[in-house]
């Protein structure tokens, strides 16, 4: 019997015909797909901040989602109650992972010392619950954006004292990562960016960000934390120009600062779309560079220009995402973290379960469709043929770096005008629909 969810029983796979809203229609954890169990491909994770700490407040209105575990006054008691709720929630859903920021697991105290003391008490309990339930920490991170001290950034703050505070928080969270066996550690540059060049030395700020990341790499090594470091790109919000704009920008930044080998990327769907990319675009940029480490699985609203963090329900998105993930052989130590919140009008406790069930089904279905597509090689063979002119002759010599502009000119003078070839986009979209609807 669960303390916070007394009416809930473990959610089970009942198949697509089931009319039970509290069942999985597609997610069958043990079902084998492309040689692995679904749960091994998908590695779902619950985002602590939205699911357990989200209040439903927005810039126009107050909290709508009072949760029983958040009631009371003593921050450590609330934090421990939240842990109980979180592990119960994970058990009901059969989710193996969770993720948190330092300030989600327990409220910040009046000083760093006090905050860290609170963290120690709560982490002790988390460790115990992890052991009892088998639920693991996919990643943790430091919240370097909510407190007023970070109004002008954390490691990119013009004040070195604020930089130091951010460093102290990351130091503590790396120790916690080690203590709880986190499989990854995330940096999302919440306010690492700027609003106006009138007051900003952009080069200096970016150099400071690189120095900060370097210190984290060094400290992880020193304490023996071996989880994967991840950077989560986002183009804007809260600042106008975020330094971690998108996958390509982050990869360029890491390469420029000699940090590339220490990091991979955590790609979030709604961040990709804010950067005017598709989800699969940013996944592919990360993947083709060997740097796709983990995913924040959510979706935005095409009519709203901000990070709405909705639970994923778009089968095109999940299919194309899983296609990239399958093709690179999985996410390694990463997973699919639902960085998503129920709408503020979704006020039943049950809605939290329904939202996760839908999201898990969306990705399970995406996995199955992607694996069929991949197995049949439809897109692969089309794409391979599309570039066939580079497999032999002139194209092959271009790829080998053996061709000059003079050679290209000679080729055209001899061969004349190239023949147009169709990209067959509509046909491929039809094929994708055939697989989705099969
Ligand atoms: C914010 C966001 C964060 C990160 C972790 O848009 O996605 O919650 O995932 O700091
Ligand atoms: Co995120």
Q: Does a structural domain hold residue 4? A: no
Residues 405 and 362 in one domain: no
Residues 111 and 76 in one domain: yes
Q: Does a structural domain hold residue 19? A: no
Residues 107 and 53 in one domain: yes
Ligand 1 atom with minimal separation from the 337 CA: 9
What residues does 96 pair with on adjacent strands? Answer: none
Selection from 28, 30, 5, 4 nearest residue 16 by Cα: 28
Selection from 49, 186, 144, 51 nearest residue 106 by Cα: 49
From 28, 102, 104, 307, active-site residue: 104
Residues 278 and 390 in one domain: no
Residues 225 and 361 in one domain: yes
Q: Does a structural domain hold residue 13? A: no
CA-nearest residue for atom 8, ligand 1, is 339
- H or E segment and range at residue 140: strand 136-141
| Phi and psi at residue 319, to the nearest 5° | -65, -45
**How remote is the CA of residue 118 from the centroid of ligand 1, in Å?**
23
Tokens of 375: 């197995």
- Report the helix count and the strand count for the chain, using DSSP H and E: 16, 12
User: Among 341, 361, 376, where does a domain finish?
Assistant: 376
What pTM was computed for the model?
0.98
Distance, CA of 391 to CA of 58 (rounded, Å) = 55
What pLDDT sits at residue 296?
98
Residues 210 and 282 in one domain: yes
What pLDDT sits at residue 154?
98
Ligand 1 atom with minimal separation from the 143 CA: 10
Ligand 1 atom with minimal separation from the 141 CA: 10
Instruction: Please report, in angstroms and rounded to a whole number, the separation of the first and last CA atoms in the chain.
Output: 40
Secondary structure of residue 61 in the 3-state scheme? strand
Ligand 1 atom with minimal separation from the 49 CA: 8
What pLDDT sits at residue 22?
98
Q: Does a structural domain hold residue 115? A: yes
CA-nearest residue for atom 2, ligand 1, is 188
Residues 294 and 390 in one domain: no
Q: Does a structural domain hold residue 184? A: yes
Ligand 1 atom with minimal separation from the 145 CA: 10
Residues 92 and 158 in one domain: yes
CATH of the domain at 318: 3.20.20.150
Tokens of 37: 């169990």
Q: Does a structural domain hold residue 24? A: no
Residues in the chain: 438
Q: Which residues have any ligand 1 atom within 6 Å of their CB?
A: 101, 141, 186, 188, 232, 234, 268, 296, 307, 339
Range of the domain at 262: 32-376
Per-residue pLDDT of the chain (438 residues; tens, 9 = 90+): 899 999 999 999 999 999 999 999 999 999 999 999 999 999 999 999 999 999 999 999 999 999 999 999 999 999 999 999 999 999 999 999 999 999 999 999 999 999 999 999 999 999 999 999 999 999 999 999 999 999 999 999 999 999 999 999 999 999 999 999 999 999 999 999 999 999 999 999 999 999 999 999 999 999 999 999 999 999 999 999 999 999 999 999 999 999 999 999 999 999 999 999 999 999 999 999 999 999 999 999 999 989 999 999 999 999 999 999 999 999 999 999 999 999 999 999 999 999 999 999 999 999 999 999 999 999 999 999 999 999 999 999 999 999 999 999 999 999 999 999 999 999 999 999 999 999
Handedness of CA 81, 82, 87, 88 (dihedral sign): positive
From 28, 50, 101, 102, active-site residue: 101
**How remote is the CA of residue 268 from the centroid of ligand 2, in Å?**
6
The alpha helices in 29-100, defined as continuous H runs, are 38-42, 48-53, 75-93
- H or E segment and range at residue 184: strand 184-187
Q: Are strands 97-101 and 44-47 parallel, antiparallel or unpaired?
A: parallel
Q: Does a structural domain hold residue 15? A: no
Secondary structure of residue 337 in the 3-state scheme? strand
Mutating to test ligand 1, I would choose from 190, 250, 311 the residue with most ligand atoms within 8 A of its C-beta, which is 190
CA-nearest residue for atom 7, ligand 1, is 339
Please identify which residue in the block is written with the tokens 């909290």.
63
Residues 354 and 395 in one domain: no
Ligand number, closest to the Cα atom of 297:
2
Distance, CA of 400 to CA of 390 (rounded, Å) = 10
**How remote is the CA of residue 304 from the centroid of ligand 2, in Å?**
18
Report the number of distinct structural domains present in the chain.
2
Q: Does a structural domain hold residue 395? A: yes
Residues 216 and 106 in one domain: yes
User: Among 341, 359, 376, where does a domain finish?
Assistant: 376
**How remote is the CA of residue 349 from the centroid of ligand 1, in Å?**
23
Distance, CA of 257 to CA of 206 (rounded, Å) = 10
Mutating to test ligand 1, I would choose from 50, 105, 141, 270 the residue with most ligand atoms within 8 A of its C-beta, which is 141
Mutating to test ligand 1, I would choose from 51, 154, 232 the residue with most ligand atoms within 8 A of its C-beta, which is 232
Please identify which residue in the block is written with the tokens 């963090």.
309
CA-nearest residue for atom 10, ligand 1, is 188
What residues does 310 pair with on adjacent strands? Answer: 299
Residues 169 and 250 in one domain: yes
What pLDDT sits at residue 1?
82
Distances (CA, A) of 18 to 183, 353, 364, 368: 35, 16, 16, 19
- Reply yes or no on whether 104 is catalytic: yes
- Reply yes or no on whether 277 is catalytic: no
Handedness of CA 432, 321, 91, 34 (dihedral sign): positive
Residues 370 and 396 in one domain: no
**How remote is the CA of residue 41 from the centroid of ligand 1, in Å?**
22
Distance, CA of 168 to CA of 159 (rounded, Å) = 15
User: Among 331, 348, 376, where does a domain finish?
Assistant: 376
């Amino acid at each position: 019997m669960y303390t916070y969810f007394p009416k809930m029983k473990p959610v089970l796979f009942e198949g697509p015909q089931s009319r039970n809203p509290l069942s999985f229609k597609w997610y069958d954890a043990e079902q084998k797909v492309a040689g692995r169990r679904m749960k091994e491909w998908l590695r779902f994770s619950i985002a602590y901040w939205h699911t357990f700490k989200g209040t439903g407040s927005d810039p126009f209105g107050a909290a709508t989602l009072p949760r029983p575990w958040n009631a009371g006054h003593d921050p450590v008691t609330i934090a421990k109650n939240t842990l109980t709720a979180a592990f119960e929630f994970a058990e009901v859903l059969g989710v193996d992972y969770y993720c948190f920021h330092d300030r989600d697991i327990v409220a910040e105290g009046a000083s760093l010392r006090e905050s860290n003391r609170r963290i120690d008490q709560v982490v002790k309990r988390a460790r115990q619950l992890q052991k009892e339930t088998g639920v693991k920490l996919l990643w943790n991170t430091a919240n370097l954006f909510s407190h007023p001290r970070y109004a002008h950034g954390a490691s990119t703050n013009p004040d070195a004292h604020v930089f130091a505070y951010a460093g102290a928080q990351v130091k503590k969270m790396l120790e916690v990562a080690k203590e709880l066996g986190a499989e990854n550690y995330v940096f999302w540059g919440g306010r690492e960016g700027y609003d106006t060049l009138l007051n900003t030395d952009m080069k200096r700020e970016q150099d400071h960000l690189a120095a900060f990341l370097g210190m984290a790499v060094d400290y992880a090594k020193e304490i023996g934390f071996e989880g994967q470091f991840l950077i989560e790109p986002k183009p804007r919000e809260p600042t106008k120009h975020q330094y971690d704009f998108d996958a390509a920008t982050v990869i360029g930044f890491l390469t420029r600062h000699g940090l590339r080998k220490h990091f991979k990327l955590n790609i979030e769907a709604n961040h990709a779309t804010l950067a005017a990319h598709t989800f699969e675009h940013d996944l592919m940029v990360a993947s083709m560079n060997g740097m796709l480490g983990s995913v924040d699985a959510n979706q935005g609203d095409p009519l709203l220009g901000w990070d709405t963090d909705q639970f994923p329900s778009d089968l095109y998105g999940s299919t194309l995402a899983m296609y990239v993930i399958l093709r690179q052989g999985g996410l390694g130590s990463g997973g699919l973290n639902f960085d998503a919140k129920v709408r503020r009008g979704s006020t039943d406790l049950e809605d939290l379960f329904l939202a996760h069930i839908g999201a898990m089904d969306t990705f399970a279905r995406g996995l199955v469709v992607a694996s069929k597509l991949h197995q049949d090689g439809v897109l692969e063979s089309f794409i391979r043929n599309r570039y066939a002119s580079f497999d032999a002759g002139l194209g092959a010599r271009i790829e080998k770096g053996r061709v000059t502009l003079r050679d290209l000119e000679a080729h055209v003078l001899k061969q004349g005008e190239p023949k147009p070839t169709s990209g067959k986009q509509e046909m491929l979209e039809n094929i994708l629909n055939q697989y989705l609807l099969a």
